[in-house]
Amino acid sequence: MAGPKKKREPHDPHDRLVRDTLSSPQNIVPVLRAVLPRAVGDALDVSTLRREPGTFVDRANEARTDLLFSARLGKRRVLVYVLVEHQSGPDWFMAFRLYLYLGRVWDAWLRQERRTRGKRLPVVIPVVLHHGASGWTAPRRLSELLDWDEDTRALLAPYVPDFELLIDDLVRVPELELLAREGAPVGRLVVWVLRAVRVGFEPELIGRWAQELNRAAAAGDGEALLHILQYLVGADEGEAVFDALQAAPLSENVREVVMGYQKKWLEQGKAQGIEEGLQKGLQKGLQKGLQKGLQKGRAEGRAEGRAEGRAEVLLMQLRLRFRRVPKAVERRVQAATLEDLERWTKRVLSADSLDEVFG
């Protein structure tokens, strides 16, 4: 399914991790199984789950990632729209923004010529994956954002759009529940690291997560594992995770890869420290140079101001004494140094001609 917007290049590290891993149908299953109501999850045939192309969020907004999937639910194929919120706190108007995104999904569906023959829109199930440090505190229903009272609601509710957000609020999900989620190991690992970089992890469970890493590698998901480790390299919290994994029961090949990325993390941190040191030194030097420059500039400015004032006085004296002052003389006076101006000003009082003033 072609979306209304071109695919954007993911620059945010959370965005890259999600697109490189959870865009795979088998990896998004743990999220869907956890957040969908049991009856819906049981009815949804995840074996038919497939990724649909397109992104429907605002291109300038780097704080969220969206993924669109389709799957069979009974006799119909429905769409599952997954929005991953990367902000440290929830967006109060997320229900409204999601309402706009759903409109864009349907609009893109209608724009496809082969689907305009139908008279109905596909059902879209909206899911929000949130890993903000404070947990989800924003409204969960679109109607909660509307400015109405109970009487108004009773009158207008049947005529006003409304829906409820299905939210996977990761920081409020115990790690044991993450471990127990159904689906591919990579799907569990991705939500674990998204959660860990916000609120940390439980050290006593690191052995269980090491086993998940082993299972993912054994299942041939090596590329996804590399994306997860690369994500940790770019996170400040990655150091604690790498340190904890040193004593964990990793398989030999996974340990080699993990230790390689830990070394990369340490080297990157060292390089960053050197860079920060250079920046601080440069900043200190710039500040010192700026102070000297300001002092010099003030002195030069005062001298220039005195020269301009002295030039105006001299030109006025020349006009009073000799009535006519040629343009060439005016330009010479205006371009003169303060020392020359002072010398000429003394001469003009007794000089009988311009030549005697400037001679």
Whole-structure pTM value: 0.69
The pLDDT value recorded for residue 3 is 46
Relative orientation angle of helices 222-233 and 13-21, to the nearest 10 degrees: 170
Q: How many angstroms separate the CA atoms of 55 and 65, rounded? A: 8
The pLDDT value recorded for residue 116 is 59
- In the structure, how many helices (H) and strands (E) does the chain have? 14, 5
| Burial per residue of 116-135, b for 16 or more beta-carbon CB atoms within 10 angstroms, e otherwise | eeeeeeeebbbbbbbbbeeb
123 alpha-carbon distance from chain centroid: 31
pLDDT 10s digit of each residue in the chain, 359 long? 544 443 444 457 888 899 999 999 999 999 999 999 999 999 999 999 999 998 899 866 568 899 999 999 998 999 999 999 988 889 999 999 999 999 999 999 988 766 656 678 999 999 999 998 889 999 999 999 999 999 999 999 999 999 999 999 999 999 999 999 998 999 999 999 999 988 899 999 999 999 999 999 898 888 888 888 888 888 878 888 888 888 899 998 888 888 888 777 766 654 454 444 445 544 555 455 545 555 555 555 555 656 676 777 677 777 767 777 888 888 888 888 888 888 887 787 677 888 888 87
Residue 101 in 3-state DSSP? helix
Tokens for 273, please give them.
Answer: 């420290």
Phi-psi domain of 223 (left: phi exceeds 0; alpha: psi -120 through 50; beta: other): alpha
Q: How many angstroms separate the CA atoms of 331 and 56, rounded? A: 65
Selection from 63, 41, 64 nearest residue 166 by Cα: 41
Tokens for 215, please give them.
Answer: 């299972």
Q: Give me the residue spans of the domains in the chain.
A: 13-250, 275-358
The pLDDT value recorded for residue 302 is 54
Residue 132 amino acid letter:
G
